[in-house]
A and B are shown apart, each in its own frame.
Chain A
Amino acid sequence: MSDTPASKRLDIIRMKGRPTVNDYIPQIFDDFFEMHGDRLYGDDGAIKGGVAYFKGVPVTVIAQVKGRDLEENKASNFGMPHPEGYRKALRLAKQAEKFHRPVICLIDTAGAFCGVEAEQRGQGEAIARDIMEFMTLKTPIISIILGEGGSGGALALGVCDELAMLENAIYSVISPRGFASLLWKDASREKEAADIMKITAEDLVSLKVCDHIIPEPAEGAHTDAEATAAAISEYIFGALQRKFQKGLDELLNERYNKFRAIGEFTV
């Protein structure tokens, strides 16, 4: 499917039956205990976090929740986190560091929520703090983009030792819709935008942003959630093995340098 255009993938990841973290977490992890709240303001339904076993190893899971029906979407704000979601993520990541657990981030968001209260509670600061703290967090971090990786709202959980993407997932600086409305003042041209933005998993591997592509069943993850979950598990297993072999300094230096190397310029 590597020649599927971005616009087509947009359709696939928006399919009603596309599995969400609510489908994946029970299949990938055992004994997931959800933890709530940022201890500062409240609990955000758009980011689900907790502790679990992954093949017998304790891990911390931080996941963005897209709903599949109105009820779920109401609870998860359509997967668009508020600052308290990012602060909960940071709290749980710090806890993972304390107890020497690796962190597994599952990314699936159109972006951080844009609203009055999000601004009042410091959406920018919350994301900035996650990015900075994740950069020096003393435990392995593996991030996987399941569907949409929208801008800073995705990057807040995307500072990691390895970034993987499901085959049809996208990762972009702004949603294709936002891009079209910004550039052409016409949000309806989002498909056209998607195709020039370089946002597919293959594009991102060539730009050295994404490290691995996790294959989906032929027609997309929605046709076989179980097989997709198994592929994600297999990837996490390998990634953790790779990271556990490293010393802490080596791990943190490689994490820093992974991002340090991105940028194209002449001096």
Chain B
Amino acid sequence: MLDDIFSVVRQRWGSSSPERDDSKKPDIPKDLMFKCPRCGTVSFSEDFNLNGKVCPSCNYHSRLSARERLDITIDKGSLQEFDKEMVSKNPINFPDYEAKQQALRARTGLKDAVITGTAKIRNKEIVIIVMDSHFLMASMGSVVGEKITRAFEYATEHKLPVIAFTASGGARMQEGIVSLMQMAKTSGAVARHSEAGLLYITVMTDPTTGGVTASFASLGDIIIAEPKVLIGFAGRRVIEGTIRQKLPDEFQSAEFMLENGFVDMIVERKKMRRTLAHLLALHEQKGGAFDE
């Protein structure tokens, strides 16, 4: 029955979702309904979108594209993007890596998994880093590592705070050891920025895992997380394989990380811009100078 309804919908509006042979289950067009990966509740996309892509039922803050994130975070038109055209080579000659990247570029309109640049939040200038999980799960290869490193170096040179919205599946397997080295490269740039006495705020979004958690994402002076997002080092299935039992749902959630002391605060999407503006303002001022 449901199938019939949706086939009517598909005919009328056309659907980009591929036909599946085993369509025993209702084939819900992706653009009409949102099924929450956390609580399983299905809601109309319209309601879900109006709610800032937050599940109306459980408050899971779902994934945004980097562009969507910038739209709701920075002052309109304030982005001066860095390294727009940078693309990865194929350092370990991994089979089909170039073709895979090209297909993703066409599909997502992104060159790789991160956008960096200067921007303003309530007129305060910052360097912003936004990762986009729609490109190879925002895994960290040469481009992600280099753009983030350059962003921190620019911020250090121009004495600007950095705000990084992290999302990543971890290392980029297709770039092998070169991917692993990006953890050291980015963390080195964070170290220099920090030594210069400058502010770095991390906002962990869904999912922040693996090599990104084990490098620059965990190194913020302030670490914010969105509600219900996944944050962790090792993959859940890997751990379940090690301990041979199922893990509870809340394992590796933002709330789990807060409870264990690895996140400063959980902030809802609708309050994020305001929160960041307040924190930026507070850090612009030196606390009582004892000695001039």
Contacts and interface: CB of A to CB of B under 8 A. Distances in A.
A265 B233 contact: no
Interface in A58-77: none
Nearest to B172: A173
A129 B213 CA distance: 11
A196 B218 CA distance: 31
Given A114-B234, A118-B234, A173-B171, A262 B185 contact: yes
Given A112-B233, A115-B243, A152-B211, A174 B188 contact: no
B149 interface: yes
A135 B252 contact: no
B117 interface: no
Interface residues of A, number: 51
Given A122-B261, A125-B218, A135-B191, A172 B177 contact: yes
A173 B181 CA distance: 9
A267 interface: yes
Interface stretch (B44-52, B83-91, B277-285): B83-91
**What's the interface size class on B, roughly?**
35 or more
Contacts of B252: 119
B62 interface: no
A256 interface: yes
Contact of B142 (A124, A198, A265): A265
A197 B172 CA distance: 12
A264 B173 contact: no
Given A125-B262, A152-B211, A264 B142 contact: yes
Interface of A: 112, 114-116, 118-125, 127-129, 131-133, 135-136, 151-152, 155-156, 158-159, 171-174, 178-179, 182-183, 196-199, 203-204, 207, 209, 256, 259-260, 262-267
Interface of B: 83, 85-92, 94-95, 142-143, 145-146, 149, 171, 173, 175-185, 187-188, 190-192, 194-195, 210-211, 213-219, 232-235, 238-239, 242-243, 247, 251-252, 256, 260-262
